A and B are shown apart, each in its own frame.
Chain A
Amino acid sequence: EPEVTQTPSHQVTQMGQEVILRCVPISNHLYFYWYRQILGQKVEFLVSFYNNEISEKSEIFDDQFSVERPDGSNFTLKIRSTKLEDSAMYFCASSYSGGSTDTQYFGPGTRLTVL
């Protein structure tokens, strides 16, 4: 069964550094998403991406964040100048059509620890 993959599984960085989280969505999916989950809290939407541009973004997704689809398979989240409060699990997800009835498939997540 096809699945979303994410690398690395765990990333440790120093405050102020830049990190890039990588995702490979399911190959025939067209809509891509990033979510964040602080330990013990709910899943929070960050951004959706379609046709090489951002479709929607939350208030969390400020100028510190950016997304990119550098090639036909990868989807990346860049966090510039990381802060302690960026420590969280980051999930990538993909879906085929993006509609409300379409299932989103989540990757296993990257645990980001900012020291």
Chain B
Amino acid sequence: GQSLEQPSEVTAVEGAIVQINCTYQTSGFYGLSWYQQHDGGAPTFLSYNGLDGLEETGRFSSFLSRSDSYGYLLLQELQMKDSASYFCAVPSGTYKYIFGTGTRLKVLA
């Protein structure tokens, strides 16, 4: 089967750096995306990695290693508003998407 595993919860303090990992097992691989979801809100797109390496978008960076079936989202200079759930996701098939188990990030003052 296909699966994406993430830690269930991560806690960090304001201003810190946190890394959220995602390991995947898929029948085909077309890239790894990351989404943020605040409580009661909709998932919003953060980043996409189609190739190995690091993609940087402001305070957020995402890394992919296809040989290790592994990626991570790196959040720098944490702010209280970053408290949310973070999901990795992969396209599976032409128009089908699988989301990871989700990581709840708590940012402490």
Asked whether A and B interact, the reply is yes
Chain B residues positioned under 8 Å from A57 (CB to CB): 96
Q: Mark A89-102, 1 if CB is under 8 A from B, else 0.
A: 00100000010110
Could you tell me the distance in whole angstroms from the C-beta of A110 to the nearest C-beta in chain B? Answer: 11
List residues of A whose CB falls within 8 A of some B CB.
31, 33, 35, 41-45, 48, 50, 55-58, 91, 98, 100-101, 103-109
Q: List 28 contacting pairs A-B, 8 Å CB cutoff, sorted by A.
A: A33-B97, A35-B99, A42-B101, A43-B35, A43-B43, A43-B87, A43-B89, A45-B99, A48-B95, A48-B96, A50-B95, A55-B94, A56-B95, A57-B96, A58-B96, A91-B43, A98-B95, A100-B30, A100-B50, A101-B31, A101-B48, A103-B48, A105-B45, A106-B42, A106-B44, A108-B41, A108-B42, A109-B41
List residues of B whose CB falls within 8 A of some A CB.
30-31, 35, 37, 41-45, 48, 50, 87, 89, 91, 93-102
Given A101-B48, A106-B44, 19 new contacts (CB under 8 A): A31-B95, A33-B95, A41-B102, A42-B87, A42-B99, A42-B100, A42-B102, A43-B99, A45-B96, A45-B98, A55-B94, A55-B95, A91-B42, A103-B48, A104-B97, A106-B42, A107-B42, A109-B41, A109-B42
